[in-house]
Structure 1
Amino acid sequence: MIVDLPSTTTSQVNKKMVELRESGGAVALGRVLTLAIVTSDGAEVEPSIQAANDASREHPARVIVVARGTRQAAARLDAQIRIGGDAGASEVIVLRLYGPLADEGAGSVIPFLLPDAPIVVWWPSDAPEYPAKDPIGALAHRRITDAAADEDPIGALQARARSYTNGDTDLAWTRLTSWRALLAAALDLPPFESVTSATVTGASSSPSTDLLSAWLASYLQVPVRRVQHSRGPGIVSAVLERPSGNVEIVRPDGRNGSLSQPGQPDRQVALHRRDIRDCLTEELRRLDPDEIYEATLQGLAEIVRGEETQETGVPEAPEQTEQTEQTEHTEHTEQRA
């Protein structure tokens, strides 16, 4: 069932929801969380709702869609309520905000939050630079972004590293789950040798490729080379170099990959590029901080700083080094005295 409420208010929407629950028997008691989707009022609204509906079959939720319209229009709130088969296992509230209301998303969301239930905010695109400081993001226990949907995916990913707060995550990271699982499982098989270096190849605009490189560098503590390639979408290959032979995963077409490792026959593995529904469903399974993602972002930031230092070629000032050494010598002398 879909009920449209043009030019309405949040109190009228709440009143209508109560009427629908009383008349149709729909209740919100089985909802385990509130999922707020913040997007522009355009073509991506319906795909985002569909992904949330599919994810709700595992995570029943109240879905609040904040669709921001043009700011040049008169102030207006158009609402839509979806329940039953049109909302999957959820109840969906679509709020289309126009004019000055377009910047008042938090005030429109608060009246519909489920009491005593976790809050997750998802930006399908155009995420704020600091999600945790966004008015709606500040309400959430978990904040989901997608660097791959940004006009500058790599720049967006680097911004995530600068602004990370506990509870942040990005779907570019979620798309790596299968790659990480295969690489970790391969290292659990003989020969049990240390990895000496690694190479990750992928499209130049693939943030997942950068994250996989940073993850390997952080947890293997080895040099990792990031190679740009246009042969396939996203990540094309990952190679872990060891003395007895390399562990290599190659996925040229974005669907199927091959795994090669010493002492084992080559095998075909399913490595299709994960869609939004699968990634969103996985992220809703956990509401605690993702420490591995945080460490990977820190590793990515270190890689970026190293590249910037190499490009500028500016070493530390000698006089600053000399002054530091003199200060340390003085402090050491005072301690001995």
Structure 2
Amino acid sequence: MPSQAADLVRRLARNAEAVCRHYLSNGRREGRYWLVGDVANTKGRSLFVRLSGPDHGKGAAGKWTDAESGQHGDLLDLIALNRGFHRLRDTLDEARMLLALPPDALPPRQDRLPAPRGSPGSARRLYAMSRPIADTLAQTYLHSRGITAASLGEPLRFYPHCYYRPDEHSPTETWPALIAAVTDLGGTITGAHRTWLDPSGRDKAPVDSPRRALGHLLGHGVRFGVADDVMAAGEGIETMLSLRMILPALPMVAALSANHLAARLLPAGLRRLYVARDADRAGDAAMASLCHRAEADGIERLVLSPGLDDFNEDLRRLGIDALRAAVRQQLDPRDAARFLA
């Protein structure tokens, strides 16, 4: 992290409650934490921000986690997600305005120190230590979700003893986990998503937040295929894998949450974008935001809507034939002929 960004993180953390009141006004303070629904300021208690603590390290002020989505980060990350910024410069300018600091240009890039926990470097190490999902609990889990034709190669892997810590005051546990690489438009791994699994492989692990991500997610995602002129984007890995059961040649990306779907970076040369929405308020908001950005870039937008809550539920409850028939009606006829299995 550039030195000026690190300094802003410290200054924001020292004013963490004021930052929360400004961006997360639908939340409230409870003890040492600010509680709210998510980074978009939805009412609820899923996201918690630490309001006091040291400047860095364990228990640092300003660190936040969304227990439902697995998102986490510092207050700069929160501002970027809340405001939908895609460039670090915009986020830093916003933070300076909040702190009433003069604007300043970003310094030139410098050599980085060894990667801290939760960084892209940590994500790359975890992915490298994992193994292909063939004949593992990860494949068993996907089969239990009706996903029987998932790629056995990248970006999905399996790690048998993945660390899990419920919160900073609890001991570390280990559970088997489905690991997914999060990559940028160039294919560089910027993060990793973990789905902790029950030892039977037939469900997620019985923990409070069985899905979490680490590294840099903003604008990136879990990619299935290389996007060219047409692609699909949605929230969850299982949602996109369900669509891939019937559209195996259509490039897809799972953004991992509604907020990250809204912030998706779109590749150059893209002509048509399918947005696979989840049937809830957050899904509708993310879909509208991404479609608006695509429209501004001159990209044709088409929305794929599930019959139930999401496409994995459609696959499991309605069956693959019903899913195929429903999606066919929503595809451009050219893409139905080109991609539909």
Q: TM (normalized to structure 1)?
A: 0.26
Q: Tell which structure's C-alpha radius of gyration is larger.
A: 1
Considering fraction of residues, name the structure with more helix: 1
Work out which structure has the larger RCO, using CA pairs closer than 8 Å and 6 or more positions apart in sequence. Answer: 1
Q: TM (normalized to structure 2)?
A: 0.26
